[in-house]
Amino acid sequence: MERKYFSDIFTYTSTIIPNREIFDKAIEIRQQYNLNLGDSIIAATALIYDLTVYTRNLKDFEHIKILRTINPVR
């Protein structure tokens, strides 16, 4: 069931390859908000591409006020 759930989700998504701009922004976010590297890259990507982050862990990103987040299971 979980495999089908994620397979269905990935049908509607695009892949974004991290680039220098994303990595530079991720470093800035990591230093400013003390996020782990993965969350910093996610936040940087969303900010650069004007995207919303869909996550069950809203708390991870709550300090980045300009970042849009949604919990998709609520």
Rounded Cα gap, residues 41 and 19, in angstroms: 10
pTM of the shown model: 0.84
pLDDT, one tens digit per residue, over 25-45 is 999 999 999 999 999 999 999
pLDDT, one tens digit per residue, over 12-29 is 888 999 999 999 999 999
